[in-house]
Amino acid sequence: MEGRKPRQSRGGVWYTFTRPFYPLIAEASRKGPPMNLKTSAVLMALTLCSLAAVGARAQSAQLGPAVVTIHADQPVAKVSPTLYGLMTEEINHSYEGGLYAEMVQNSTFHSDWSGVPDWILVEKGNSQAKVGVDKSTGPSQALPYSLRLDVSQASKGNPAGVLNDGFWGMALQADTTYRGSFYAKEDAADAGPVEVSLVGNQSGKVLASAQVSGVGTDWKQYKFTLKTGAIQPSMQNHLAFTVAHTGTLWLQVVTLFPPTYHNRPNGTRIDLMEKLAAMHPAFLRFPGGNFLEGDHIADWYDWKKTIGPLVDRPGHPSPWRYWSTDGFGLLEFLEWCEDLHMQPVLAVYAGYSLMHEHVNPGPDLEPYVQSALDEIEYVTGGTDTKWGAQRAADGHPQPFHLTYVEIGNEDWFDTSGSYDARYEQFCKAIKAKYPDLQLIATTPVSSVRPDVIDEHFYVRATQFFHDAHHYDATNRSGPKIFVGEWATREGTPTPNFGAALGDAAWMTGLERNSDIVVMASYAPLLVNVSPGAMQWDTDLIGYDAMRSYGSPSYYAQVMFAGNLGNERPAAEVQGGGPRFFYSVTEDTARKRLYLKLVNGDSTPQAVEIDLPGATPASTGKLTLLSAPGTQAANTMDNPTAIVPVESKLRNVGSTLHYNAPPYSIQVLQIDLR
């Protein structure tokens, strides 16, 4: 191609820009301030230069050059240090069958019309047994029921029992210790051991096993460890509980964990936590989303039922059509924050549920307001407070730092109009006790002025291209903005490259306006891609029981959040195609500029970067994410088809010529002297 010399192959593209630039054709179609004389002259010179070199060759498909001028010595706004964070809820098996490392599906034997999902009767040889739910006995008030196994015939070599095949598989690695526990009782004490084993689905081979002896006639917790040997890593495995004696065995709260992130008991999956850590998230918005609200008022996220020992957590239905054991509860969310150095953005239930049910403001709402106050105390209170002491009893004496509390979720759906008064009631009570907390409203209200408003965007890439300037004209004297859920919804189960381009264009607008947009979080974050596990198309990170991968949109976020300054210098663009976007921030302590360029077009975009008055180091760093087309994607079997590639940026001076490849997202890191 005339005018540029690829220095590396695609994927690691590094173009040395040798003129000519592409002719100026797209200026008229670009919105923006009129060109100044200097810029016009530059563009004209570039155009003539280009024309001279390419002669009469048709250039109609190529974009006009863009000139980005950065006044590094003129800061115009602060960049929010909390701009990029995570939003999460129990959807697509985000926790159960996802981040929460529990390997047993339906660990508390929740039953439905089909029986006890995920549990299968085992009858080996001539053994005979029956299995079902026993609603008359359980180990706790929260779980007053259990799985009952009646064994009428069994012997050594002919055991009977139950098996669980996990969340669409159970991933086992070689030479690894798996720790588990269960509550149990039998109709006769010491009738014989319970054998716990991990078994390969295809081979039928026992890959690890343990015996638990001495099960008595009262409910008690038993622990076991299972250690694999030199096995082939696979997720085609299941967990079996068998006995070689007759009688009745009751089971409840069956758990099995692999090694977890930071070795936390009841902890999280290492591969997923590492992927999230790479996103440099400043905050975590939890526990939803619709998961906060429930379909009905009775299904609200009652956080008090999600803390303490697992046996004291009753679980509840997720509006995303599956049961949540709440094994991953409030304290686990907070520890997740701690592990990734994120601040919690705590959403409290505000009296609206999805089937258009609301709690009337006033006395009816008071218990929910009190619950929110208690929840804030659980998160932030000293051990001398009631709920702070409870948190300490649950294993975390140190309080968590909290700045933001969100009142409800998407209350614009409440057509009764009750949100204004509901918000006011929460706001007055919370501010009276915690005046420093910043409160987030989920839709505008007039009763009181919220500190922050949460806005959500689920759109196509073209909409984000058109709306990348959404906040440019937002009134700076109003509440701050939290873009609490946003995504380009193209591609399933995870976004394709076209979506990543839409996302990146949108993020340039968020960065440019991060004086007012204080936080933003993509949603949904996680999806188990196994058949039947997903409820929402287009989710940032995909996984099954064993593997995980980041979508191109994930990598766009890694690049944007990992290269963010603390100030926005004055900058402007002239020229460029209609799908060309940029943002520039400066890390003032390091004297480092991060210039993000997005070329959403199928043709290259020539860019001249002018740094008047600045003396940059002659080399910088380029991080490039690009793909041959908008439908290109990463998948479980091809997880790194599209990943960022770093290379050296050479010939950096007060003017730098760069050619953004077709369909590309890039960060240019430029150090100033």
- Report the interface residues with ligand AHR, using CB under 6 A: 89, 91, 288-290, 409-410, 485, 523-524, 536
- The least CB distance from residue 266 to ligand AHR, in Å, is 24
Residue (219 or 413) nearer to ligand AHR, CB:
413
Phi, psi dihedrals of residue 425, rounded to the nearest 5°: -65, -45
Enumerate the β-bridge partners of residue 164: 119, 239
- The least CB distance from residue 610 to ligand AHR, in Å, is 41
Task: Tell how strand 283-286 and strand 84-87 pair up.
Answer: parallel
Residue (122 or 461) nearer to ligand AHR, CB:
461
Residue (164 or 290) nearer to ligand AHR, CB:
290
DSSP state of 387: H
Do 373 and 430 contact (CB within 8 A), yes or no? Answer: yes
- The least CB distance from residue 101 to ligand AHR, in Å, is 23
DSSP state of 521: E
> H/E element holding 291?
helix 290-293
- The least CB distance from residue 226 to ligand AHR, in Å, is 36
In this structure, what token pair is assigned to residue 7? 């220095």
Residue (290 or 626) nearer to ligand AHR, CB:
290
Q: How remote is the C-alpha of 412 from its chain's centroid?
A: 24
Measure the CA–CA gap between 95 and 324, rounded to whole angstroms. Answer: 9
- The least CB distance from residue 411 to ligand AHR, in Å, is 10
- The least CB distance from residue 523 to ligand AHR, in Å, is 4
Residue (47 or 318) nearer to ligand AHR, CB:
318
In this structure, what token pair is assigned to residue 271? 């591969």
Residue (291 or 400) nearer to ligand AHR, CB:
291
| SS3 assignment, position 285 | strand
Which residue lies nearest ligand AHR, judged by its C-beta?
Answer: 289
Residue (536 or 658) nearer to ligand AHR, CB:
536
Do 508 and 582 contact (CB within 8 A), yes or no? Answer: yes
Q: 207-210: long-range contacts (C-beta < 8 A, 24 or more apart)?
A: 207/172, 207/231, 207/237, 208/172, 208/178
Residue (199 or 483) nearer to ligand AHR, CB:
483
- The least CB distance from residue 351 to ligand AHR, in Å, is 16
Number of other CB atoms surrounding residue 351 within 10 Å: 29
Residue (171 or 276) nearer to ligand AHR, CB:
276
- The least CB distance from residue 95 to ligand AHR, in Å, is 14
- The least CB distance from residue 538 to ligand AHR, in Å, is 10
Do 499 and 489 contact (CB within 8 A), yes or no? Answer: yes
- The least CB distance from residue 438 to ligand AHR, in Å, is 20
SS3 content of the chain, % helix, strand, coil (to 5): 20, 35, 45
Residue (288 or 381) nearer to ligand AHR, CB:
288
In this structure, what token pair is assigned to residue 236? 């085609």
Residues 6+ apart with CB under 8 A from 1: none
Question: How far from 264 is each of 225, 226, 269, 338, 379, CA to CA, in Å?
Answer: 16, 18, 10, 12, 19
Rg (C-alpha) for the chain, rounded Å, is 29
In this structure, what token pair is assigned to residue 586? 């400066």
- The least CB distance from residue 171 to ligand AHR, in Å, is 26
Residue (289 or 502) nearer to ligand AHR, CB:
289
Q: Which residues of 460-486 are buried (b: 16+ CB within 10 A; e: fewer)?
A: ebbbbbeebebbeeeeeeebbbbbbbb
Measure the CA–CA gap between 509 and 515, rounded to whole angstroms. Answer: 11
